[in-house]
Structure 1
Amino acid sequence: MSRVLIVGAGPAGIRAAERLVAAGLHPVVVDEAARAGGQIYRRPPEGFTRHAARLYGSEADKAVALHACFDAMLAEGRLTLHAQSSVSGLGDGQAQVIGPGGALRIAHDRLILATGATDRLAPVPGWQAPGVYTLGAAQIALKAQGVAPGRRIVLAGSGPLLTLVAAQLREAGAGIAAVLDTSPLRRQARGALGMALARPLVTLRGLALRARLGRLYHAGVRLDRIETDGSGPVAMHWRDGRGAAQVTPCDAVALGWHLRAETHLADLAGARFDWQPGCHQWLPRADAMGRAGEGLYLAGDGLRLLGADGAELAGRLAATACLADMGLPAPDPARELAAHRRMRRFAAALHRAFPWPADMVRALPDDTVLCRCEGIRAGDLRETLTLSGPEANRAKSLGRVGMGRCQGRYCQLAGAEIIAARGGLPVAEVGRLRSHPPVRPAPVAAFLDPEA
């Protein structure tokens, strides 16, 4: 019987495991969290008493159902879970995993990557200061511990996550100073029509959340800088849709421009990549079922940024492809494929409504920190380009942008904009940073043989 490894226990990974278990397989699941659910349905620690409706809002029933599904399979011994563990590398049919007990290798014949996504960030002068978070980090703090990042918070960026996190924080009693969206209302209106045609209820729910923010919400803004002192932010300086300068006092800032697919493991596994202008990033190449190579299947936001519902569908489709390729009975995927196509239409319209702020990034002042891990500034990268030329990996090797702890997760897209602007090229021609193991920081002790 084939050994199937699933990386990720969010909506995609859980539904993939469910389908494999129903077919009589016993998959192995690796996840970085202590409990399954992923970031969108992240669970608080055991004993945390906050009700699911307060944690997940309108998606509470979906979250509870997913948690119960996975917990039942685990309790019945129908899958193996390596929790609080991270896959640091892949090769020769084995995954190198770092967990609480140190390093281990998990052999597999087939691999389903459901690695999800992280916040997509655009640098803003001052963003390197303590007290500046991502939208996802602010949401995790609220879900996992019931805390807000500050008492007077500015949330800035663009996309549904911006509205959602603002609404969740406000509902929890946090002080919101302003919600600043870099996408103009007219741009949002054009995209909203396509979103409504594909998923009308989801679109209406988003509009209702927006309406509850009232005058806190501002569209079409330009972020100038985050004013800070020795302890963190004190004000956000920005310009409204008419270009008028505004200053909003604050003690915390959360930033995010939708999501960035987590693709490092897909790269190590041999997936091919294509530049996707709609969502403005490099994404793995796969067929409609998620096949990305021999024995390699991708699902969820690590393949296409379709949200939690789309991730559940993609997880089922990837598992179905896996079963079919093993010659085992598999469900007819026709209805799921049709629903998945609708999700993709919605996502395409969403990306039109809430675009990446390329012009803002290209115009960053030279003294703006671009790579927070290495402390590299925008001007440092521009100077490097005189030697490296407009190619991402060469600029990385000479200028260290993308060489730090996050391995380019938070600076690669912004760095590519600066490279493209200096070289007069489309951003796709700058190229994609190559991935290297370990894909996340790992302690050296985890690789040492205690008996050596």
Structure 2
Amino acid sequence: MAIARIVIVGAGPAGIRCAETLVAAGFKPTLIDENRRDGGQIYRRQPEGFTRNYATLYGSEAHKAQDLHESFDHLRERIDYRPDTLVWNLTPGQLCCVSQGRHSTLDYDALLLCTGATDRLMPIEGWQLAGTYSLGGAQIALKSQAVSIGRSVVFMGSGPLLYLVASQYVKAGATVAAVLDTSPLHKRIGALPKLLARPGVLLTGMKLLAQLYRAKIPVHLGVEPLQVLGDAASGVSGVRIRTGKGETLSLDCDAVALGYHLRPETQLADLAGCRMAFDQASGQWWLAVDDAGRTSVSGVYAAGDGAKIRGADAAEHAGRLVAMALLEDLNQPVNAGLREQQRQALVVMDQFRLGLAQAFPWPAQQAAALPDAAIVCRCEMISAGELRRTVSEKGACEVNRAKAFSRVGMGRCQGRYCSQAGAEVIAAAAGVSVQQVGRQRGQAPVKPLSMFTEEVSP
């Protein structure tokens, strides 16, 4: 039997642990990563030459980041590592890649998608103004460029990432004007039984909140975002919210970081023809996998937040588990005890995930409340009113049909920023569930490509 051509896409927690397990079994996988350095988003390495220490860069997650980076360093010479490489399309058995403008193809027998996640965003009036970023974008600026996104930053949204990035900014010496959370306190109290599945992580979250209070950062819970203030010429100048007590409050700032948990990067799995499933707890479409990471397509596997949003710790367990699933399918020996250990860890983490979804719910109601003038799709500047008219005048109650009529989701981000919120706007206008509205289908290229032409001699 020929040696299997194994390709892993993504060098974050899931991809690195997956590669580590396969190397230990005697394989040399190809590891493709869009980033220039390993670590994924949460443990993204700073550029060569930067000297900030782990505690400064990663805060409470410093020891985990360092452990993952050291694991990768030990793997580097035993894998075919291809950084700064985007997989922009695939066909059965072959990937289409681009690196620094050079296009290539790569054949595979087994494909392990560890593509991670990106920000899940809900629009707010004025969010198209310069100075409005996603939480992930704000984190990348800090880690990769050692800069703050503004002189005075408001963090707004909900979920653990909101507090993690805000505390990282405080630790780095940036000015945080406020942390504004749409989730009310009673939601967290109600979710405590599930959150106690991981008491250590719960304690870490409480410590992050305590750090913000100690730094005298204003923290408001149960807020309703109303508007990002400013103008097209000068960008962001502040935010306006309604507090949990019903009072309207305006805060000055020159940058806003928005985010509501994460959404999985499923575009490549979609192109491979993998089945998707709707997750009721989070209200979004995820990749359908078995408990070991097998998709509905033979030879295609998935792990980490690209398959199911459970966080970085779970991604490491899932990366090991999906590698063992592949080894089983290749009739290779697997440590049954280690496999069961990974599975049991993920059961606990899935319980915690449900607690997070309950404590920090996706604010679907904000989509229905958006003013008609509010922009939903920032790439194509499509407003909520335009999207609602596709429902009332065109009868477009399905997201891809609405996309065809309105161009929502057709821009550079390929719907990453707007598709889920757009589906919520459509659902509210049509009076149907967001599950009935469906999901935006993936298509190549999954991200914008640089195109070069070469002169051909006559």
TM interval, shorter chain, is over 0.9
SS state of the match for residue 137, structure 2? helix
Match of 2:312 in 1: 308
* In 2, Cα distance between equivalents of 1:153 and 1:426: 35
Match of 1:250 in 2: 253
CA separation of 1:134/1:451 partners in 2, compared to 1, >3 Å: closer, same or farther?
Answer: farther
Q: Which runs of 5+ in 2 are unaligned?
A: none
Residue 202 of structure 1: how far off its partner (Å): 0.5
Match of 1:241 in 2: 244
* In 1, Cα distance between equivalents of 2:419 and 2:406: 13
Match of 2:301 in 1: 297
Assess if the C-alpha contact under 8 Å between 1:361 and 1:417 holds in 2: yes
Query: Aligned partner of 1:217: which letter?
Result: V
Match of 1:273 in 2: 276
* In 2, Cα distance between equivalents of 1:265 and 1:398: 25
Match of 1:201 in 2: 200
Assess if the C-alpha contact under 8 Å between 2:35 and 2:85 holds in 1: yes
SS state of the match for residue 233, structure 1? strand
Residue 80 of structure 1: how far off its partner (Å): 0.6
Match of 1:444 in 2: 451
Match of 1:79 in 2: 79
Assess if the C-alpha contact under 8 Å between 1:218 and 1:240 holds in 2: yes
Assess if the C-alpha contact under 8 Å between 2:10 and 2:115 holds in 1: yes
SS state of the match for residue 445, structure 1? coil
Matching of residues 35-434 of structure 1 within 5 Å? 35-74=37-76, 76=77, 78-100=78-100, 102-196=102-196, 198-214=197-213, 216-229=218-231, 230-292=233-295, 293-332=297-336, 333-385=339-391, 386-434=393-441
SS state of the match for residue 227, structure 2? strand
Q: TM-score, normalised by structure 1?
A: 0.97
Comparing 295-304 with 187-196, which one deviates more in the overlay? 187-196
CA separation of 1:378/1:19 partners in 2, compared to 1, >3 Å: closer, same or farther?
Answer: same
Residue 361 of structure 1: how far off its partner (Å): 1.4
Identity %: 50
Assess if the C-alpha contact under 8 Å between 1:11 and 1:315 holds in 2: yes
Residue 388 of structure 1: how far off its partner (Å): 4.0
Assess if the C-alpha contact under 8 Å between 1:268 and 1:435 holds in 2: yes
SS state of the match for residue 387, structure 1? coil
CA separation of 1:85/1:185 partners in 2, compared to 1, >3 Å: closer, same or farther?
Answer: same
Residue 42 of structure 1: how far off its partner (Å): 0.4
* In 2, Cα distance between equivalents of 1:449 and 1:4: 36
SS state of the match for residue 331, structure 2? coil
Deviations 1:54-80 (A, max 9, x none): 111222122112112112221x3x111
Assess if the C-alpha contact under 8 Å between 1:192 and 1:350 holds in 2: no
Assess if the C-alpha contact under 8 Å between 2:188 and 2:359 holds in 1: yes
Assess if the C-alpha contact under 8 Å between 1:154 and 1:180 holds in 2: yes
Assess if the C-alpha contact under 8 Å between 1:192 and 1:203 holds in 2: no
Deviations 1:378-421 (A, max 9, x none): 11111112214211111101110111111111111111111111
Q: Which runs of 5+ in 1 are unaligned?
A: none
Question: How many aligned positions are there?
Answer: 448
Residue 261 of structure 1: how far off its partner (Å): 0.7
* In 1, Cα distance between equivalents of 2:68 and 2:153: 31
